[in-house]
Each structure stands twice: as C-alpha cells, then as structure tokens.
Amino acid sequence: MIVYEYPCNERVRAFLRAEYLFERFFYFLKGEDAHHHQIAVTTLFEILDMCERSDVRGMVLQDLERQRVALMGWREHPGVASQRLDAMLDAMQQASEQLSAQGRLGANLKENEWLSSLRGRFAVPGGCSRVDLPSYYAWQLRPAEQRRQAIQSWAQSFTPVQEAISLLLKVLRNAGDPIDHVAIEGNYQEMLGGKTFQLLRVWLDEQAHVFPEMSANKYVIWVRFAQQDNENRPQPLTKNIAFKLARCQIH
C-alpha cells in the first residue's frame, strides 16, 4: 500500500516539510561518494533556511505542550495502555526540555565563515565547482568517513528539533484509524459539519497507479483521484476505486 498525506493547516505542513528534508539529509549522509555528501550539505542549508524563515522551534514547543495536555486527558479513559501512555508523555517532556535548553537553531553553521561562504555559493548554479571553490573541492577529496563526521557535527544543533518533529508526527498519525471507502468515478466527498482535522492520510493499492488530490476545510473533505498520461499530466479518474482514509486530530 502507498500512503499519501495532506496537511490541514500550515503548522502540520511545516512539520511534514521538515521531516522530508531530514529524511533526505540522512539518506545522502549515509552515502560514500562526495556527490552524496554534497546533497547532504545542500539539504542542511535548506533546513537552516526553513528554520530562519519561520519559528520552527516555537511551533514545535507549542505543539509538544498541546499534545502532552491532550494525551494526559486519556488517563481517564478505560482500556488505555497506561505504560505506553506514560512512555509517550515522558518522551514529549524530554523532547521539550532538550529543545528549550538549546540555543538558536543552526547557530554553528552561521558562525562558521567557511560554511557561510559555501551556503552563498551553493545558491548559484554550478557555484560549488572546483573552479569556484577549490577549498571545497579539497574537502571533497577527504575520506568519506571524515566528511561524514564533519557533516554530522554541523547538523548536531538540529537534532532536538528533528527528534521532536518526528515524535509529534508519530502521535498525530496514530490519532486516526484508517477506514475503508470507495471513490465513485474517482471522487469522494465527506461533509464534516464544522469538525476540523490536522492531517488526512490515504492508503492506495500500489498496483492502482493513481494518486489522490486532497483538500479540506471545517465543512467538507474532498478526495479526487487521478492518473498520469504518457506525458505525466494528471487525468481525472473515471472509475470507482477503493481506498482507506484516516482523519487525524489530537483533541
């Protein structure tokens, strides 16, 4: 099954974007080739840009507290696994304390003159070539493990926010149970009557070769399925298709 997700507010969208960047960063960090590590460094600068443009740290701290309070309310519900709940609450408390105790995100990158010069050159197409940056080319010739350790040290200041976002999204995704539905002629609509959700998740059979286009507000959820033609342009699906939908919300 393939899972597609749709954020219902900008805060969740920011967390999903951050998760995507961190996943890409760790994937290329594991590589051995200098080109893999160049993408890892480029992604690290993207993470820094994201943190500079919005108060990611503040949003994460607010959501950790909000989700912690919401989960504490589950103590009163019968059948709740108290040990798992306590473990999750402890993890949230620890993540919040680590993030609160940290200084400005990415400060070590901005204070490093060499990395600051790289960041500027990376924004120029081809600007990190050996012609423009001989010092960077020399760094790329170092052993892979040496490069990897350097990149890990540069990324260390982002570890608390990365772990906190991962925890928040895990709790949010687990807050919605997938329910079977059928989209008639590729369209599904559900009236909400004022309810709001934070995240929609759609599961599809991998062999279906279709994808959902989702939208939602407090009145209605729309899921429209499409497939790609020979030039990859989306074409509306005109047949019925089965799928699973989870509506995720931390109350």
> Among 11, 30, 22, 10, which Cα is nearest to 46's?
22
Express each pLDDT in 207-231 by its tens digit. 889 999 999 888 899 999 999 988 8
Query: In whole angstroms, what is the distance from residue 29 CA to residue 151 CA?
Result: 8
- Burial label for 28, CB within 10 Å (0-12, 13-18, 19+), is buried
pLDDT at 128: 80
| Whole-angstrom distance, CA of residue 17 vs CA of residue 49 | 12
Among 5-19, 54-68, 97-111, 132-146, the minimum mean pLDDT is found in 97-111
The pLDDT of 26-44, averaged and rounded, is 95
* Total Cβ atoms within 10 A of residue 137: 14
pLDDT digits (tens, 9 = 90+) for 117-174: 888 888 888 878 888 889 999 999 999 999 999 999 999 989 999 999 999 999 999 8
pLDDT of residue 85: 77
Strands 2-7 and 234-236: unpaired
**H or E stretch at 212:** strand 211-216
Percent of the chain past pLDDT 70, that is, above it, reads 97
Q: Which of the two residues, 116 and 25, has the higher pLDDT score? A: 25
Structure tokens at 190: 């559900």
What pLDDT, on a 0 to 100 scale, did the predictor assign at position 80?
A: 65
Q: What percent of the chain has pLDDT over 90?
A: 53
Give yes or no for residue 233 having a pLDDT over 70: yes
19 vs 245: CA distance, rounded Å: 21
Cα–Cα distance for residue pair 174/194, rounded to 1 Å: 22
Q: Does residue 100 contact residue 61 with C-beta atoms inside 8 Å? A: yes
- Most confident by average pLDDT, 22-31, 153-162, 168-177, 194-203: 22-31
Return left, alpha or beta for 216; rule: phi > 0 is left, psi -120 to 50 is alpha, else beta: beta
Q: Is a pLDDT exceeding 70 seen at residue 187?
A: yes
In 3-state terms, what secondary structure has residue 47? helix
Output the pTM of the full model. Answer: 0.90
- pLDDT of res. 173: 93
Going across the sheet that includes 199-204, the strands are: 2-7, 199-204, 241-248, 179-183
Determine the pLDDT at residue 77.
Answer: 67
Instruction: Give yes or no for a contact between 135 and 118, defined as CB atoms under 8 angstroms apart.
Output: no
How is residue 176 annotated by DSSP?
S
